[in-house]
Each structure stands twice: as C-alpha cells, then as structure tokens.
Amino acid sequence: MTTFLIDLSPGDMKRRLGDALGIYVDAMRYPRGTEDQRASMWLEHIRRRGWTAVAAVEVPDHAVDDPDAPPLAAAPMLGVAYGYCGAPDQWWQQQVVQGLERGGADRAEIAELTNDYFELTEVHIHPRAQGRGLGEALVRRLLAGRTEPQVLLSTPEVDEEANRAWRLYRRLGFTDVIRGYHFAGDPRPFAILGRDLPL
C-alpha cells in the first residue's frame, strides 16, 4: 500500500463524512454512534471562513500508476484533519475568551490571542496507522500557507502529557495558552495550546 496526503474540498468532505467520522470515533475511542451526533457539526464547520481539510489515504501499490484507478479523494482513508478561522460568534472562541478572562488576561492580551487565528479543530489518525508520522504530516499540510499569525487548538489533559497528541503538539512547538480548562458541558479538563505561524 502507498499512503498519500490529499486536500479535501467541501464536496469531498461531505461525500467522505462517514469515513472521516469513523476515523475520529476509532481514534478517540468514543462509543459507536458518536459520529451521528457529530455529523451536523462537522457539516456546519465546512461553511466557516477559511475552512480547510486534509486527509491521508492509501492506495494498493498496483493502482498507484493506474489511470483507471478511482481518484485519490475516493481512496480508503487513514486520517483526517481540518480547521478554520476563529471568529467571535463561535462557541469555542467564546469559551477560550472566558478561560482567558478567568485566568486574569486583560483585554489587549485577549484581543491579541483571538483577533486572528486558525483553529486546528480536528486531527485524527486511525489506530492502525498511528505512530508513523502521519498526524504530523497532516498538521503540516493543513497549516502550510495559512495567512493567520497563529494557530490555536484544544486537547484533553493527560497525566504527564503522555499521549501521541501531546507529543505531536509539543514537538511542533505548541505552548500553553490555558491549562485545565472546563468547556461548558464537558467534565474533562482541556488544555488550549497555540503557536505562531508559519510553522
């Protein structure tokens, strides 16, 4: 099998939504059925300004140079990542602003962090394809050429930052924006991380 990284157009994402959500649920080890709750949200995100998505797909070696092979956008998916420009009417930004306020940040600091950023919303690699650099490759592709001065993301807190997501973000130079934050309606603590762009 040969692995390719591809850009997903809005149409590709709509067509492949079931596969992308399947990877998300398997990667996060969420119960089956979670994808049904998430589908409308992922579709709504496609309409947000600056929405960009990438995927890792795999193709049998014999099909790589076959002109009659199906397009890469239809090939089996190993991973998916997407994001969009942050904006004040987005729930996530409102939560982050609240967290910054609670942490004592002043207006100018909050504005500097939230006025112009790319939100790295999702990055997931199927468990069978994790640990070979695909997550990093997807994040690099997604962030390449972004015009925003920074990127922000949230990730669940984990003891000692000991999981692949944390290792990836630290390796890519993400630093703490807020730690131990509780998003409304979620009992788990999250970290908000960020870094300047370009990567």
Give catalytic residue positions: 169
CB of 134 or CB of 147, closer to ligand COA: 134
Assess 123 for contact with ligand COA (CB under 6 A): yes
Q: By CB under 6 A, is residue 27 in contact with ligand COA? A: yes
19's CB contacts (< 8 A; 6+ apart) are 76, 77
135 touching ligand COA, by CB under 6 A: yes
133-148 b/e (C-beta count within 10 Å ≥ 16 → b) = ebbbbbbebbbeebeb
177 sits near ligand COA (criterion: CB under 6 A):
no
* 58 touches 78 (CB < 8 A): yes
**148 vs 131: CA distance, rounded Å:** 29
Q: Which is nearer to ligand COA, 109 or 182 (CB)?
A: 182
Q: Is 80 in the site for ligand COA (CB under 6 A)?
A: no
Would you say 177 and 150 are in contact if contact means Cβ atoms under 8 Å apart? Answer: no
Q: Which is nearer to ligand COA, 48 or 164 (CB)?
A: 164
CB atoms within 10 A of CB 69: 14
The whole-angstrom separation of Cα 90 and Cα 95 is 9
Q: Does 149 bind ligand COA (CB under 6 A)?
A: no
Among positions 125, 151, 178, 191, the unique one binding ligand COA when judged by CB under 6 A: 125
Beta carbon nearer to ligand COA, 41 or 108: 41
Within 8 A by CB and 6+ apart from 7, the residues are 52, 53, 54, 141
Of the candidates 16, 124, 146, 195, which one interacts with ligand COA according to CB under 6 A?
124
The phi, psi pair for 124, rounded to 5°, reads -145, 135
Which span (9-17, 67-75, 164-172, 179-187) binds ligand COA, by CB under 6 A?
A: 164-172
Give min distance, CB of 138 to ligand COA, in A: 7
What is the H or E stretch that residue 112 is in?
helix 107-114
Q: Rule CB under 6 A: say whether 134 interacts with ligand COA.
A: yes
Q: Which residues bind ligand COA (CB under 6 A)?
A: 27-28, 123-125, 130-136, 155, 164-165, 167-168
